[in-house]
Structure 1
């Protein structure tokens, strides 16, 4: 892939995300041990093996684009932002996975000049793959085929909102939603929330708790390719290349 177009790069990310999803499903079926990292977050064999597979694939196919991946950084690898780089979360929602729930994802995103420009996100338990990028549209592949997806216009009767399962009692969420017409409010884990906005099932995902850049790059690219937005609370874009890789609070929206 010497002369790689964005179409090539998205196809590569999609393939690796699907292959990582199969690795995760296999490990889930046979059982696994959950360990605790130095930051007190959980990690499993599925995180580690999915990341190793993705890293091998990206570095072999496009060695000129650096890869920054969650488990490598957690293990102490020092990484720095460059004009273009991959961001990989091999299993976003490890708590959900370890608890036997279905809301976890594989995220492979490409950042260019501080912006998330394309991404592939697999939902292993749902056998779904979401892809999207600047000028490439947004798509969902599932057991019934390939479908173009788009955010929806928010209904007049109120917004369908998804928020974090692990920050469900955050008082900032109630304050943020106060005064807005809310039809439903649900709480689930992981980047699955972005997918539901991108395909027009949900109107708003406010994220007021902590996230890392590898959690959001791929899903942000997909949501924006589907016509939505991922912005900071002041309306400015969520950008990439921060020194500590930590995101500030943000909101993901369809057409409000």
Structure 2
């Protein structure tokens, strides 16, 4: 059956799964060649040729297939840049289209959707050889809420030997579920919390400690942290910083919510992902599979007060390629 006969949302998810795998190939090829082309965008904020090329592929491919849908990408690339046709991925993932679209999402229109793209989440770790931290994130928001997401892990299983299959794709739709991994719950007698490994400060540390961790796991990438959460390796993801962006959390939030988890700011307020929203998650990030309100209650009020109000500002700019 032709992909055009399926609901718009499922077609976007299917195309996103397909192009995420293509982006993973691009990332692996860049690293294999050894020409990373590192650019420093700011303090502890790097960009590589893998980031740039993966975004060109993802945004151009999705824009070609869904020209009326708003797409925001992390990397600031020229909207007039000509993209080689070899970078366009036109395929659809059959494993998505065989699933039934939730009733409430079957009639979603183009103008109700925003796609948030982080072509390489965990760039710093990528440059340091911590390859299992790296993910490709494609989040799909409907009417401002994260409703579907794709997390592609290009280096999953990369140390398993020369004959191992490297890379995996996890995707989810709220109301349908999440696929591509085995959901597990963390040990009941512990309280393991994951947070940033490269963007820590006093407030980040205090927020984590206030949640009474038995162990703290410091890793890179929002996508990687949520993978640890959904696979039962940690109990919560706590990040008391304004450095996280919408493209970091949209896809992970949808995948997490689709299996019953929760991702909000530190005050428990849901994220917004409409096309005029500020790109920064100025309220910080708190994600859990269970007991979300307990973790919200443990964040000190002085920290919540520091993250309660988003600054004024104009809308983020749409990436067009």
Report the TM-score range of the alignment, normalised by the length of the smaller protein: 0.7 to 0.9
Q: Out of 54, 67, 73, which is 2:71 matched to?
A: 67
CA drift at 1:177:
3.4
Q: Deviations over 1:105-151 (max 9, x none)?
A: 111111111111101011111112111111221122xxxxxx4x436
**C-alpha distance in 1 between matches for 2:188 and 2:20:** 36
Equivalent position SS for 1:244: coil
Where do residues 83-232 of structure 1 align in structure 2 (5 Å cutoff)?
Answer: 83-102=112-131, 103-126=133-156, 127-140=167-180, 147=181, 149-150=182-183, 152=185, 155-168=187-200, 170-178=201-209, 180-190=211-221, 191-209=223-241, 210-232=243-265
Change (3 A) 1:179 1:49: closer
Change (3 A) 1:225 1:111: same
CA drift at 1:201:
2.1
**C-alpha distance in 2 between matches for 1:13 and 1:123:** 14
**C-alpha distance in 2 between matches for 1:244 and 1:75:** 19
Q: Out of 234, 247, 250, which is 2:281 matched to?
A: 247
Correspondence for 1:143:
none
Gaps of 5+ in 1: 141-146
TM-score (norm 2): 0.69
Q: Out of 54, 58, 63, which is 1:54 matched to?
A: 58
Q: Deviations over 1:67-105 (max 9, x none)?
A: 11111xx2476xxxx631111111111111112211111
- Higher strand share goes to which structure? 1
**C-alpha distance in 2 between matches for 1:34 and 1:166:** 17
**C-alpha distance in 2 between matches for 1:181 and 1:156:** 14
Give the number of equivalent residue pairs.
241
Structure index of larger Rg: 2
Q: Once superposed, what is the RMSD of the aligned Cα atoms?
A: 2.1
Q: Deviations over 1:222-248 (max 9, x none)?
A: 111121100122212122235431102
